[in-house]
Amino acid sequence: MIQDKIFEQENWLIQPLGHRLDMLQYEYVRDGDMRAVELAGKIFRRPDHGKMSEDPLRNMIYHFICAAVLVTRYAIDGGLDKEEAMSLSDVLIQRADAVGSIEDIYQLVDEMYSTFTERVIRTKRQNAGTLPIQRAKAFIFAHLHERITTTQVAEAAGVTPNYLSSLFKKETGQALSGFIRQQRLEAARLMLAQSERPISEIAATLPFASESHFIQAFRSRYGVTPAIYRSSLRAEGIEAKDEIDETFTRREEGLEHLDTQLDMLQYEYVRKGDLRSVDLGLEIFKSPYQGRLSADPLRNVIYRFVCATMLVTRFSLDGGLGMDVAYPLSDHMIRCADQIRGIDEIYPLVEELFRSFTQLVARAKKQTAGSLPVRRAKEYIFAHLNEKITVSQLAEAVELTPNYLSMLFHQETGQSLSEYIRAQRLLYAENLLLYSSMPISQIAEMLGFSSDSHFIRIFREEYGMPPAVYRRQKASWSVTKNLQWPK
């Protein structure tokens, strides 16, 4: 298999940032924070990007597409309308396809981050009163294929279950359970229209209590059974059924996007190490309901492959795959796509993409199956590096006693919790020194050091020099180092 061979190669130009910092610019987009623009510009201009093509310009175009995929997803998470976000993303990628120089790409990066972030800010202002409902809907769409309780949705929305139920009914006119059921039925309708999956599999995927329960619910809502609905579409032609597009697809110059939920299911399978990702990933990739990213048909499928690779990589990281494996494999897959000369050559690559990453995630899960509390503790630490973290908080987050967590963490990592937290804060500080112009005092405050002098002393102990000297010596390449960090 590909993943068993490629790591012997020596032509990587890749030194990935820590996953947390590498995602910070996207979190700024999601939060409507204009710091996204400067940080993204710095990271995009760094010299150690992975090599996705032998052609420097195409290499930067592929990197731009990867960034566009994540910016779009995080902007949607931040409240931006899905159709608006995806349309804007398509336009930006089409413009990248037509650029004549790498400098043009840099300018397009700045425009992309500023445009998306500004639109998220505008959306947040317009919808300030409905934030809990937005969060609830986002959680529901992301978990349609799982069993969902009101308590889970309320926790995601940041309110109590009773308040959420009351607010949801007031703002949408529907009970929460009714909304969830309706969205599952709409998802089922799209699957029936655009796939050949058996009805029993659709019922289990969404998930209904049984196949008969699904058939009954579908007939109650649409007046026909799923089988009759599908056969009528085949007889009349899917494109003649405009009602299919009401919830899950958009039409723009004859082009359509699958709904976010169905479009993301194959990546959820990757994250879980479930090989159903392979058939579903290939099926959706072949679907005619996709946006046009380039006027050239071959470049269009390559760009779509780059988009899929970016999402597979990110979901693999969420599934426990290490960056040292995920990023080189991702670059390798895109380089293979860059070399194809016919559209049909992309489909075996799509199959290999999903199979390789899914198997590697499954292997990683088996290797770390005994350390779930430790992994949860690490996830909590990464998510709260800018806050004061106590052992009691960590123990509560992973549902263990403080003493047992401390013992287990030291046993599995060879470090105490306090040593690990300090090391991660210093690593984060190092990345901020290299890839931002944030003042040292602000870095110290952001990462929870008690004072500037405390941060400087701890940093010098670890790196052998003060932060200011380290930044001056290591970050001299930065083309924007004199910019002021936005307030």
| Domains with residue ranges and CATH for the chain | 1-126+249-367 (no CATH), 174-248 (1.10.10.60), 370-474 (1.10.10.60)
Name the pLDDT band for 18 (thresholds 50, 70, 90). Answer: very low
Distance (Å) of CA 237 to CA 230, 241, 242, 244, 286: 10, 7, 11, 12, 18
pLDDT at 415: 87
What are 330-384's pLDDT values in tens digits? 988 999 999 999 999 999 999 999 999 999 998 887 766 546 788 788 878 877 7
Phi and psi of 362, rounded to 5°?
-60, -40
pLDDT at 19: 44
Distance (Å) of CA 44 to CA 65, 115, 150, 353, 430: 12, 17, 41, 24, 17
Question: With 60 as the cut, is the pLDDT of residue 42 above it?
Answer: yes
The CA angle 454-458-464, to the nearest 5 degrees, is: 135
What are 422-444's pLDDT values in tens digits? 888 888 888 778 767 778 988 88
Average pLDDT over residues 408-431: 86
Residue 330 CA to chain centroid, in angstroms? Answer: 15
Residue with tokens 């995602």: 23
Q: Alpha-carbon distance 428 to 9, whole Å?
A: 29
The more confidently predicted of residues 380 and 194 is 380
Question: With 70 as the cut, is the pLDDT of residue 86 above it?
Answer: yes
Question: Rounded mean pLDDT of the chain?
Answer: 80
β-pair partners for 252: 255
CA-nearest of 374, 368, 384 to 416 is 374
Q: Look up residue 315 and give its two tokens.
A: 């979901």
pLDDT at 359: 92
Question: With 80 as the cut, is the pLDDT of residue 474 above it?
Answer: no
pLDDT at 471: 86
Average pLDDT over residues 135-160: 84
Percent of the chain with pLDDT over 90: 25
pLDDT at 368: 60
Q: Look up residue 45 and give its two tokens.
A: 């201009």
E strand or H helix at 181, and its extent?
A: helix 176-194
Name the pLDDT band for 206 (thresholds 50, 70, 90). Answer: confident
β-pair partners for 255: 252
- Cβ 404 vs Cβ 392: under 8 Å: no
**Of the listed ranges 122-126, 225-229, 276-280, the one predicted with least confidence:** 122-126
